[in-house]
Structure 1
Amino acid sequence: MSGAELAPFVSGIAFAYLAGVSIVLVVIDLSSHRLPNRVVLPSYVVALLLFAAASALTADPGRLLRTVAGMVILFACYFAMRLASPGSLGGGDVKLAGLLGLYFGWIGWSAILIGTAAAFLIGGTQAIAMILMRRADRRTRIAFGPAMLAGAWVAIIAAALPTLLPTPPGS
C-alpha cells in the first residue's frame, strides 16, 4: 500500500478519535458545564500527530500548514469573543475551538465557516427552545460544547457527503 493510499486511513483514525472524544465531551459538558483539559488538550496532540503523518504520507506539507492555521484562526476568534464578553464563552469552549479548527483546517477553509456557523445556529436554536419551554431565561448558563461539536460534525459530514453519494449515471 502506498503512502497516498494509507493517508486517508490515518486521517480517518483522527476523525474516529474525534467521534469518541465528542461523545465524552458532550456528556461531561451537559452534566457539569466543563470541557476538561484532560480530554481536550491530549486531543490536540493526537490530531496533530495523525494529521502530520497523513500529510507526510502524501508529501503535502501545505495541508498540514492549513490544518495548523485552522487551529490558530478558530482559537483566536473564540478567544477574542471570550475577551469581548467574558460570561458568554468558557475557557473550555475556546480550547475546544482550537481543536475543532485542526479538523476543519484538514478538511478545507469552508469547513471553518460551516462548522462555526452551524455551532452558533444549533446553540442559538437550543437556547431559544429552552426559553420558550421555560427551562431557561437570558441569564441561564447553557453548555455550548455540544453545539460546537454538533456543528463540527455538520461540517465533517458535509465535506464527506459528496464522496459517499453515488455518482448519477451520465455525469
Structure 2
Amino acid sequence: MSVYLTAVAAVWGIAAGLALPRAIHRLAVVSGEPVRTDDEDGRPYPTGARGWIGGSSGQNTQQRPYGTVLLCVTACAALAALVGARPELVVWLLLVPLGVLLARIDLAVFRLPDVLTLPALAGTAALLGAAALLPGHEGSWPRALLGGVVLGAVYFLLFLINPAGMGFGDVKLAPTLGLALGWYGWPVLFAGTFAGFVLGAVAGLVLLATRRANRKTPLPFGPFMLIGALGGVLLATA
C-alpha cells in the first residue's frame, strides 16, 4: 500500500511542479506592484485559471520547471512514505506546491504575498479540522490551532524586536506552519521551528564565508521556515 501511495503522491508532485512556473512568474513582483499579466515576451496570459496554471510561455523565461518539479516530487513522495494513508496526508500534499510557490517567490523578490499566506492559514485550519473528524488521523486539531497562535505570536514578537531582520510576510506564514507542526505535538513544533532558524543561520554563514554576502545583505527566511516545517512533519511521522 505504501509503495502505491508514494507513487501516486510522486505523480501529484510532478503535476503540481509543472503547474507552478506561470504562477511564480506572475506573483514574483516587488511589494506594491501588481501581478504580471504578460509573459516575458510581452504576450498576455490567458484569462481565468489557464492564466495561472502551467509553464511560463516566454522564450527567455527563467522559470524552467525542473527544480520546481524536483522539489514537489521529493517532498510529496517523502510525506506519503512516512505519513502513510492518514487523513492529514491530503492536507500536507496540498500544502507542498503552495510551499514551493512561496519559497520560489521569496527567493526571487524577498516577499511572501498575502494572497497566498492568508488563504493558506484559513485553508489549513479548515482541512485539518476535517481530517480530525475522520478515523485514522494521528494528531490533534485543538493543539494545531494553539500551535498556530503560539508560533504566530513568536514571530510577531521577533518582528517587533528586530523589524529589519524579520519580514512581516514571515509573520503571516508562521501560523500556517504552526498548525502543521502543532498537529503532531509541541516537541515537533519546537523542532521544526528551530530547524528553520538553524538552516537560515547556516546559509548566512556560508554566504559570508564565500563572500557572496555581507552582514547587511538581506536573506529570504521563508524557504528556511518551510524546509524546517517539512523536516518537523517528516521527523514526527518517521
Alignment of 1:81-120 (within 5 A): 81-120=158-197
Unpaired segments ≥5 residues, structure 1: 1-7, 162-171
Q: CA deviation at 1:138?
A: 0.6
TM-superposed CA distance for 1:123, in Å, is 0.1
Q: Does 1:131 align with 2:198?
A: no
Q: How many residues matched?
A: 153
For each residue in 1:38-92, what CA deviation from the matched residue of structure 2 results, as whole angstroms up to 9, or x when unmatched? 111111122111111111235x9x9211010000000000000000111110011
Counterparts of 2:88 and 2:228, CA distance in 1: 20
Corresponding position: 1:63 with 2:140: yes
Bigger-Rg structure (1/2): 2
Show the counterpart of 1:36.
113
**Aligned sequence identity (%):** 37
- 1:10–1:50 CA contact under 8 A, matched in 2: no
- Whole-Å separation in 1 of the counterparts to 2:223 and 2:104: 8
Gap regions ≥5 residues in structure 2: 1-84
- Superimposed CA distance per residue, residues 20-41 of structure 1 (whole angstroms, 9 cap, x where no aligned partner): 1111011100000001111111
Larger relative helix fraction: 1
1:52 maps to 2:129: yes
The structure 1 segments of at least 4 consecutive aligned residues displaced by more than 6 Å after TM superposition are none
Give the alignment's TM-score, normalised by structure 2.
0.62
Further displaced range: 62-71 or 87-96 = 62-71
Q: Which residue of 2 aligns with 1:19?
A: 96
Alpha-carbon distance in structure 1 between the residues aligned to 2:95 and 2:184 = 14
Supply the RMSD in Å over aligned alpha carbons.
Answer: 1.7
1-structure distance, mates of 2:140, 2:235? 19
Return the structure number with greater relative CO, CA threshold 8 A, min gap 6: 1
SS at match of 1:57: coil
Map Cα deviations across residues 143-163 of structure 1 (whole Å, 9 max, x no partner): 0001101111110111121xx
Query: How high is the TM-score relative to the length of structure 1?
Result: 0.85
Shift of 1:115: 0.6
Q: Which amino acid aligns with 1:135?
A: R
